Chains A and B, each alone.
Chain A
Amino acid sequence: MHTKTPYPLGSREEFYLFFSLTDSAHSICGLPQKPFTTPPLTRKRKAAEAAISDNENTSATKRSDPPSRNATGSSSSNSRENTTSTTTRRESDSTAATSGDLEVPVRKKASDLATPATTTGSMDSDDDFMSDASSQDDFLDTQGSDDESLGEVDFGDDIDMGFSQDKDIIRHTRKPYEVEFKVLDPEDIDREQKQQINEVSLILGLPPESAAILLRYGRWNRERLIESYMDHPEETLEEAGLGTNFEETPKTEVQPGFMCEICCEDGDDLETYAMRCGHRFCVDCYRQYLAQKIREEGEAAKIECPGDNCHRIVDSKSLDLLVTDDLKDRYQALLTRTYVDDMDNLKWCPAPNCEYAVDCPVKRRDLDRIVPTVKCSCKHHFCFGCTLNDHQPAPCKLVKMWRKKCEDDSETANWISAHTKECPKCHSTIEKNGGCNHMTCRKCKHEFCWMCMGLWSEHGTSWYNCNRYEEKSGSQARSAQAKSRASLERYLHYYNRYANHEQSAKLDKDLYLKTEKKMTSLQSQSKLSWIEVQFLDTASQALQQCRQTLKWTYAFAYYLARNNLTELFEDNQKDLELAVESLSEMFEKPVPELANLKVDILDKTAYCNKRRVILLSDTAEHLKSDTWAFNIDWKNDGGVLKTTPP
């Protein structure tokens, strides 16, 4: 059946809900609960371990720039040198500066970026693929240029060029895993939209309301639109739902002898309206038609003339003439919505009730090499590529695969294959429910030993005590079993850690909600002022962010092939994890002790943030230069296991 999903303003919140639902659902979906969740005990034990390792913390801090990093393969030695030097420098900064660095409110950052001069000035070829958006015109021109024929910004070529030049100064303004973006409020969006409409209106010499329809028809790809208009003006106008007649200003008329085709009313005083296509209806019907389209169907940009088979688009001037003010507002809001939806470089912030949009020049095809995490003015961190919550360092495609894997029944099947065995002859799945090892398949009557899977007849007299390992018949059956078991265990290793951080982040979040209470009580118990107890808030935010990152490092690592780079990654991961667990431990201390721990917590918070920056920078750079080796070919076909590991 044909069903059309209306697009009311509220739908964005629903999307968000959907995501968060699925997010929390994958621990239940299809996976047997018990063997997958880490029991609370494990968490406690981990915390204890972290506390112990905390004593060795000083040594850990010294190691903060892992010596092994300098020993990386020489494949991209240039880039290595650059990063290492900056990393070291950053680490020599005072702790306060580093933690403060991360606290820079994005609003401010965004407004900085909004000034083209500042942005282009501080950026260079290194980041060409992002800096383009600094100039309104430039990034519009590249809009929709996925079609390779149009002038495009080549992301790929810039990478090496960037690293080969000494751009250490730039590195300070933006870390390798950060992308340029700008947060737009509804007025900004409106302004941008109007500006484009006016420009095209001037260039083509069309009234603004017609230029708007033309632009919407061409999905705001100005260059292509103007070209198309220049080549075949009439066809373009016709296709876009515009006529060629632009002279008269719209007005309602009373025509004697008129009968409205919609309501079949006639009457000499019936007020009527027709757009330039000439399909005339009474004003009441026109109004009702528009009201229904706008209010019920959430349509704005593509409202056609009510005439049968007429595809002329209702322009904003006609609309203004006919509808009430509240509908006009809604109409404008819907137009803004389609504007953002149409633009590849704009996305709505997915947070509930947030009305900001984010402008980020990262293209779809760049998503294999970059994880564009943006922060909305409402403080929500999300991925510009897929609008899910921040999932650095894992690229969108891997995230999608991982989530699917976690939600799918595929792992249940894996579980089954590890906990059951197949009849060596007819391959029916058999679960042993206790008792002797002499199995007789109910289906094919094959007799075999549960322990070695070999023929029972080969067992001779060693009943109930299988000590035969060497026999061929058994070893073949066993190896298939072992393989599936190993793959399951590997998955569980990563999944448990992934899920644990998710769970811990939730617990930390609960704690965060209590933080304010804690801070007040800390204020009253010690003589600290409110501003001085802010360290708890900072610590809590760092915990959230680091756990979010850690969580995704496990999904990322699951797909990594084993090599030196992966080991370095795991070292970084371990460092961050240790730091986070020990901060988490401190954070849970009773309130009276917290005041005394202030310096430690501050230090640890800064250290956590630093470890996170190091890990993310490292991952992002290798992603950009395509030096990671994965155990699947995720970029092309979305996840077929490679037969031979690299």
Chain B
Amino acid sequence: MAFAAFGSAPAGTSGVEQAPRRRSRVALILLAPGLAYLALFFLTPLVSLVLTSFQAPVEFGDVGQYQPAFKIENYAVVVEAYWPHFLRAFGYALAATFFALIISYPLAYFIGVKARRWPLLQALMLTLVIAPFFISFLLRTLAWKSLMSDDTPLVIALKALSILPPDGHLTGTAFSVIFGLTYNFIPFMTLPIYTTLERLDTRYLEAGSDLYAGPATTFWRVTLPLSLPGIVSGTLLTFIPAAGDYINASASFLGSAQTSMVGNAIEANFLGLLNYPAASALSVILMGLILIIVGVYVKRSGTEDLL
């Protein structure tokens, strides 16, 4: 269900043409490598993850030694300990998705609709959207850290303008984490929206104008609903990885202990504390919550008419 939203088919066409499914031996043979891959690299780790989440420590064993068990309390313990991390994860991801949408939509609209007459400009702008991918996102996030850390011209200027209190910081705050997430996911938001807007038939906009709808009404009633598939894919591509992100919020990048998200908690438990059951339980909960949120979101945006 969620995957259907990634294919940004223009509204209205989905479901109309569906090729009849043919199950044949050839199809099965062709599918076999993919199925084997999924079984080996997706299903096995998933099962292993769930099993690990129920494990109990080996009595008198070393740190990091666990044995198979059915210790369901692991879940209660991690929720108790890390519920603020979950709240921050979803809160920051939601905020980042929102800001990325606000920034990406006009950008995608300009590239996909306004710049149609200048294909060269269109290509140039698309390249610029993708260009950051040529540099590792760790480096880019570190670059932002050094730009926003204390005693940089930016922070000094903000302090001089009294926007930031004299003892304030930019890094290590919710602001810098949301900023980093927004920045890192803008291309993932822009590209799917661009694909739907690029195919937007401007004759619909003319029809709207002909039927007494001003530019704002035409945008709200025609352009936005028609670009909804792109918005759904873009927000999913941003929200899901952002909710599990642990780079932006980590203290070595843009965050601090006060901003740590569930991803950081998983990382700490897995790599630092060697508490594998806790890390696995956190991962399972995170996955479950994201599935529920995405499921509800896709269902609602798919059936609602926004009218």
A, B bound: no
